[in-house]
Structure 1
Amino acid sequence: MSNRFTVHHREVGMLRIYLKPSDKIGPRRFWGAKPLYRELIRTAKADCIINAVAQNTHYGFSNHESIRENGSEIADPHLTICVELVGDHDQLDLFCRRHGDLLGDKVIVYKRLEHWTITRKTELTRA
């Protein structure tokens, strides 16, 4: 089997922001304020972050608070969720400095990663 593809590597980072689904932002409206995790993802998109997702948890704690868990019928609005952002280190650093008012009391963790891009080799580079 020939190697028909090339793998390009570059260093990126992952930022994990731990918060509660009940954390809100903005004015209270008739139907309530916007969830903070959605605003963080919307803001990350506007800031050209490469990837942003919110992940639910089932059991745990954050920021030295008590252990929480989702019940069989009702979700716990205080159980930690994680917003994960992937991008260049400087870009993630700037995101935190720009939006510190949203992040001030959150547990935030940074980790180095590699971003891989797979491209098809052209006829000239196959030899």
Structure 2
Amino acid sequence: MTDCPANAAPMEGALTETVMGMLRIYLRPRDKAPGRGGWFGGRRPLYRELILQAKEAGIVNAIAHHTQFGFSNHGRVEDMGGEVLNPNLTICVELVANRTVLEHFCRTHGTLLAGKVILFAPIELWR
């Protein structure tokens, strides 16, 4: 507790750490998962498909971060725009799990991930 600020309240309970991994996949909201067309194309957005597949794969956490301004994979700088969502503005799908689970996910879904910027970082899960 020597690293705590002088005015901090004492901590109760034990803190355990587990080394995990975080995967970030950068894509566009308009990217679609393969599938059957239907009304208006009928295919699910790729970021939603990746999150549903992550749930089936036992991933601990899977979320999509929308951005307001930026670029990915050497593309154009995009802006959120006015009243209409920009379908080319980067979105980030973040997955948290053990490294082996994340590696398996990438191998299994390689065709969905082709051409996407994918980053991995080791992280600590605290409980």
1:34-90 per-residue CA deviation (whole Å, 9 max, x = no partner) reads 000000000000000000000000000111111001112111001000000000000
Higher mean C-alpha deviation, range 1-10 or range 30-39 = 1-10
Amino acid at match of 1:102: L
Compute the TM-score of the two structures, normalised by the length of structure 1.
0.88
Give % identity.
Answer: 47
Q: Given the superposition, is the C-alpha separation of residues 2 and 75 from structure 1 closer, same or farther in structure 2, using an over 3 Å criterion?
A: closer
Q: How large is the Cα RMSD of the aligned pairs?
A: 1.2
Q: Given the superposition, is the C-alpha separation of residues 74 and 94 from structure 1 closer, same or farther in structure 2, using an over 3 Å criterion?
A: same
Tell me what 1:37 maps to: 47
- Alignment of 1:24 onto 2:32: yes
Compute the TM-score of the two structures, normalised by the length of structure 2.
0.88
Structure 2: runs of 5+ lacking an equivalent: 1-8
2:12 to 1, 4, 24: 4
User: Where do 4+ consecutive residues of structure 1 move more than 2 Å?
Assistant: 1-4
Q: Given the superposition, is the C-alpha separation of residues 79 and 2 from structure 1 closer, same or farther in structure 2, using an over 3 Å criterion?
A: closer
Q: Secondary structure in 2 aligned to 1:24?
A: coil
Amino acid at match of 1:66: R
Q: CA separation in 1, counterparts of 2:86 and 2:59?
A: 29
Q: Secondary structure in 2 aligned to 1:33?
A: coil
Name the one with the larger strand percent.
1
Tell me what 1:95 maps to: 105
Q: Secondary structure in 1 aligned to 2:14?
A: strand
Tell me what 1:113 maps to: 123
Structure 1: runs of 5+ lacking an equivalent: 118-127
Tell me what 1:122 maps to: none
Q: Secondary structure in 1 aligned to 2:25?
A: strand
Q: CA separation in 2, counterparts of 1:40 and 1:55?
A: 13
